[in-house]
Amino acid sequence: MRLIVQKYGGTSVGSPERIRHVAERLVATQRQGCRVVAVISAIAGVTDSLLKLARDVSAQPSERELDALLATGEHAATALVAMAVNALGAKAISLTGAQAGVLTDRMHTRAKIANVSPKQIHELLSDEYIVVVAGFQGQTAEGETTTLGRGGSDLTAIALAGALNADACQIYTDVDGVFTCDPRVVPDALKIEGIAYDELLEMAGAGSKVMQSRAVEFAKKFGVAFEVRSSLKPSVGTIAQAETANMEDVVVRGVSVERQQAKVTVTGVPDKPGSASRIFSAVSAANILVDMIVQNASGRNSTDISFTIHAADLPKVEQLLGPVVGDIGARRVSAQSAVAKLSAVGIGMRSHSGVAARLFDCLGRGGINIQLISTSDIKIAVIINEADVDRAAQLAHEAFGLGKQARVRKAP
């Protein structure tokens, strides 16, 4: 008998009607002769409202209590889905992450999955239950509740599919699949049929939040192929899987944007060993994630170092770097918020040249100034003004011939 893991995101359970629709889909899948595990997110907006409530009562809520609070969002949604399935005359039972056997490390609010022991799920499946698991949460070896970082229900689904050796893992969401760019940014974007883990990983890391990047990392590591598809339409979605031979034929698979970035530049950094380390040690000691790092070619024994962070971290970084700049003998720190990152991603870049030139050319012709550039073997990313990012995404999308329009033009 086939075993299917289906994950439903927040908007897919966003109203009683949608919850009933999810229940119908689960029951229909069981009636096709499958064993069904559902992974459910909190109802859309609930996690954000709980976070806001926490900040309304405490300037710095403890991460343990935040996890205890946030886990309730998924608890509620899971119980509602199980009730809706029962109301259709089928058998369902809701489980917390802990009951589902999701064991994590102790890193509250961004815990990593250490192990999954789905013994109880197997037993319930044998008893013909549809097993409805709360996404985004787990438990430490000491029995403490943890959460897996924003978007973490994706990770729960992939990890359970891996541990249960599922025949299929389907991620149901509010778009038809993974698109060549966020369809809310580029309406001309096209659904991608097949995507390599590495491409989706780079796109997710570059701001395409359709999948949590840690979930894609996990899928790649354990070889869990999955499909991203619509919970509202019956159409086939996007298959994410290990790279296949013909995937490199497409040079750029997609374009991603990430807003709310800030750029920090330390000028006049003494060109000697240890200077960069002092700057980044101070930032990482405060648990702040640094994204791009660019160092200029040095001249007259000093250099400039720029890096990007999330805009929310800027006040803290400026405060931290003030004394460091004095200590290492650098000239000054300057910062710019309201910048964004635009990335073009594709494994075809490994074997095709001219991608950077084409990206820079389309931005240049659009009058969009590039402030920083970084590359990996399958990605080119630039920092630009946030106000330009939608237009830049449309230009890049067009320049790489990714949209519906380009397909129409290419057709004989």
Instruction: Summarize as ranges the residues that interact with ligand ADP (CB under 6 A).
Output: 9-12, 41, 151, 173-175, 178-179, 181-182, 184, 208-210, 254
Q: Quote the distance between the C-alpha of residue 298 and its chain's center.
A: 36
Give the shortest CB-402-to-ligand ADP separation in angstroms: 11
Under 8 Å between Cβ of 170 and 227: yes
Q: Three-class SS of residue 274?
A: coil
C-alpha–C-alpha distance, residues 135 and 186, integer Å: 30
Residue 386 touches which of ligand ADP, Mg ion, ligand ASP, none (CB < 5 to 8 A by kind)? none
234, two tokens: 């019956």
Q: How far is CA 376 from CA 60, 124, 292, 410, in A?
A: 36, 45, 11, 29
- Please count the residues of the chain: 412
Positive or negative, the Cα torsion across 402, 403, 406, 411? positive
C-alpha–C-alpha distance, residues 349 and 374, integer Å: 14
| Subset of residues 65 to 104 that bind ligand ASP, contact rule: CB under 6 A | 73
Positive or negative, the Cα torsion across 198, 203, 206, 212? negative
Residue 150 touches which of ligand ADP, Mg ion, ligand ASP, none (CB < 5 to 8 A by kind)? ligand ASP
- Apex CA 206: angle with CA 202 and CA 210, to 5°? 85
State yes or no: residue 14 binds Mg ion (CB under 5 A): no
C-alpha–C-alpha distance, residues 97 and 117, integer Å: 11
Nearest CA to 104 out of 149, 59, 69 is that of 149
Interface residue with ligand ASP, options 12, 29, 30, 41 (CB under 6 A) = 41
Give the shortest CB-173-to-ligand ADP separation in angstroms: 3
User: For ligand ADP, which is the closer residue by CB, 138 or 254?
Assistant: 254
C-alpha–C-alpha distance, residues 201 and 194, integer Å: 14
User: For ligand ASP, which is the closer residue by CB, 75 or 220?
Assistant: 75
Residue 254 touches which of ligand ASP, ligand ADP, Mg ion, none (CB < 5 to 8 A by kind)? ligand ADP
Q: What share of residues in the chain are helix, strand, coil (percent, to 5)?
A: 40, 25, 35
State yes or no: residue 14 binds ligand ASP (CB under 6 A): no
Residue 152 touches which of Mg ion, ligand ASP, ligand ADP, none (CB < 5 to 8 A by kind)? ligand ASP
Give the shortest CB-67-to-Mg ion separation in angstroms: 18
Give the shortest CB-10-to-ligand ASP separation in angstroms: 5
Residue with tokens 């698979």: 253
State yes or no: residue 152 binds Mg ion (CB under 5 A): no
Relative to beta strand 2-8, strand 34-40 is parallel
Residue nearest to ligand ASP (CB): 153
Using the rule CB under 5 A, give the single segment among 56-64, 145-153, 351-359, 403-411 that binds Mg ion.
145-153
Interface residue with ligand ASP, options 97, 138, 151, 194 (CB under 6 A) = 151
Q: Where are the beta strands (DSSP E) in 102-198?
A: 102-104, 113-116, 130-134, 137-139, 145-147, 168-173, 194-196
Interface residue with ligand ASP, options 152, 194, 237, 403 (CB under 6 A) = 152
State yes or no: residue 213 binds ligand ASP (CB under 6 A): no
State yes or no: residue 118 binds Mg ion (CB under 5 A): no
33, two tokens: 């002769």
User: For ligand ASP, which is the closer residue by CB, 109 or 374?
Assistant: 109
Interface residue with Mg ion, options 14, 151, 177, 403 (CB under 5 A) = 151
Residue 42 touches which of ligand ASP, ligand ADP, Mg ion, none (CB < 5 to 8 A by kind)? ligand ASP
Interface residues with ligand ASP (CB under 6 A)? 9-10, 41-42, 47, 73, 135-136, 150-154
